[in-house]
Structure 1
Amino acid sequence: MTIFNLGSINADLVYRVPHLPQAGETLAARGFTRGLGGKGANMSVAAARAGARCVHIGAVGADGAWAVERLTEYGVDTRQIAVSNEATGHAIIAVDDAGENSIIIHPGANTALSNASLINALAEAQAGDFFLTQNETTLQAEGVRLAQSKGLRVAYAAAPFDAAAVQAVLPALDLLVLNEVEAAQLAEATGRPVSEMPVADIVVTLGSKGCRWYDTQHDVAKDYPSFKVEPVDTTGAGDTFTGYLIAGLDRGMPMEQAIRLASKAGALMVTRHGAADVIPDLKDVQDASF
């Protein structure tokens, strides 16, 4: 089967600084790197590296050819990535010696995808394929409705969290993935616990504690502990988990097996510095000894 991922593509511009800049301060960076990022790109790379066929639906500017090339190198089908008049989305990330950061995100081309491009991208989709999206692009609700009408399994990663955006797609979802804070925010916005949301499968990630799966059709909740590692960088770990989870489900794994695979991939990811460029492949995950 195929995973169609409507998601962001960003350039992560990371500056190493002695401390986070204060208002009005000019600060010399000690180092600089440019990497591939964006929650959408991260999830596409994770799904592809987990062995799934993943078609990325998104947009870059004329300055984003390198990002498309890198996604292709990582095994993602990039034929449905449009080139926009807007600049490629980017994040300016300052990281200090203590590991604290401040981030400015410019969405750029991520908000420039046309409805016609979305329709064209899903033209080859078949019933039983997956449609995945997050909250860093436009056309999420339109994509979810179109995917549902074609019989796709619809998954939503509720980040960056916006209660209205989640509620707009909630009735059409088959799978909802969110973290503990986002789950609490959704419960507050809707006035009911996550376990009572109208979604068959809900996975709440709990950071170092692991995750919880709600099987709402059978009124069952089950916790899965995390793999114990020494983290060095949590960037992209949640995206790696989600990409691997959906890839596992797409390959026919039962939810429990897919969660364990995704948890192991996320644990391995936090032992690496970076985002999309360092997401582990399936062999790395299977060979990990923890």
Structure 2
Amino acid sequence: MIWNLGSINADNFYYLSRLPGAGETIAADRFHQGLGGKGANMSVAAARAGARAVHIGAVGKDGAWAIERLMEYGVDTRHISVVDTPTGHANIAIDAAGENSIVLYPGANHGITDQMTGAALAEAGPGDFLLMQNETNGQGCAARTARTLGLRIAYAAAPFSPEAIRTLADQIDLLVLNGVEAEQLETALKRDLAELGIPNIVVTLGQDGCKWVSNKGSTPQSFSAYDVTAIDTTGAGDTFTGYLIAGLDRHLSMPDAIDLALRAAALMVTREGTADVIPDLKDIQDHDFT
């Protein structure tokens, strides 16, 4: 089972010919709103990958629609609280090549209390996963509680903060971050990834695939991405992470879980949107990636 302490956002998509520069105003060609937030995306991805995903989070009084949609996608929503702060949201600009720029308002995602997290994890058991990102508060208390209960802890380090990783490093079993974040982390801590003492680190590299750094392996292992035509990269990393954790929760080996996650991310970038368009396991099994 996967217990995901994660954000829930309304994603506002603005489709542009190109991303604006500093001080520049560009009219959007199209707009739509959907469910998002790194936490919600990962919960949906894990559920669609066949895992039981329990979301721990918060929305405002305006966020009932988000809870309902998570339920539709197979996520256990019993531990999503309604707080007085408005639901978080993200304004996402997407250019013609599918690249994006995002402005995030955390809102209710920073209204999660240790009591909310503790009540959820009281139902967890040894061997379950605690998945976290950096878009909510309360990661430290959640990690300590999970470690006491015998859970495995996975941390997707975005939005990136080297200090957050430094604080949690001795409790993390699996760290997922992208290539830029990996370089920033090595610079900030003045150590290579393999020297951090974290059992497993997966670095996503976009169209170049990913690499797996294990403290049990002598060298990092590289994995190639599947060749697709990307139209929207938003949520691809979250889809990768959700599928990766779901695969490990289903007792796949790390290489097999990574391959499944790469397939899911490849299919995701051929779609416009975030949580609402994350592929399910049958989509991936039926798709010809050759």
Is TM-score (shorter-chain normalized) higher than 0.5? yes
CA gap of 1:100–1:254, structure 2 versus 1, over 3 A, is closer
**Aligned ranges for residues 47-62 of structure 1 at < 5 Å?**
47-62=46-61
CA distance in 1, matches of 2:16, 2:209: 32
Moved more, 95-104 or 129-138: 95-104
CA gap of 1:231–1:17, structure 2 versus 1, over 3 A, is closer
* 1:99 Cα deviation from its structure 2 partner: 5.1
* 1:285 Cα deviation from its structure 2 partner: 0.8
CA gap of 1:260–1:116, structure 2 versus 1, over 3 A, is same
* 1:133 paired to 2:107: no
The aligned amino acid for 1:127 is P
* 1:263 paired to 2:276: no
* 1:18 Cα deviation from its structure 2 partner: 6.1
Moved more, 89-98 or 205-214: 89-98
The aligned amino acid for 2:114 is N
Contact 2:98/2:231 (<8 A) preserved:
no
What TM-score, normalized to structure 1? Answer: 0.95
The aligned amino acid for 2:224 is P
CA distance in 2, matches of 1:98, 1:230: 10
SS in 2 for 1:85: coil
CA gap of 1:97–1:214, structure 2 versus 1, over 3 A, is closer
CA distance in 1, matches of 2:267, 2:96: 23
CA gap of 1:9–1:193, structure 2 versus 1, over 3 A, is same
Percent identity over the alignment?
58
Consecutive unaligned residues in structure 2, runs of 5 or more: none
* 1:196 Cα deviation from its structure 2 partner: 1.3
* 1:124 paired to 2:123: yes
CA distance in 2, matches of 1:96, 1:175: 32
The aligned amino acid for 1:121 is A
* 1:250 Cα deviation from its structure 2 partner: 0.2
The aligned amino acid for 2:145 is L
* Counterpart in the other structure of 1:219: 218
Aligned length: 288
SS in 1 for 2:74: coil
* Counterpart in the other structure of 2:229: 230
CA distance in 1, matches of 2:144, 2:271: 37
SS in 2 for 1:178: strand
* 1:93 Cα deviation from its structure 2 partner: 2.5
* 1:217 Cα deviation from its structure 2 partner: 2.3
CA distance in 1, matches of 2:250, 2:99: 38
CA distance in 1, matches of 2:154, 2:99: 31
- What is the CA deviation profile of residues 63-117 of structure 1, one whole-angstrom value per residue up to 9, with x for unaligned ones? 0000110000000000000001000000123445565654321100000011110
Contact 2:99/2:233 (<8 A) preserved:
no
What TM-score, normalized to structure 2? Answer: 0.95
* Counterpart in the other structure of 2:39: 40
* Counterpart in the other structure of 2:73: 74
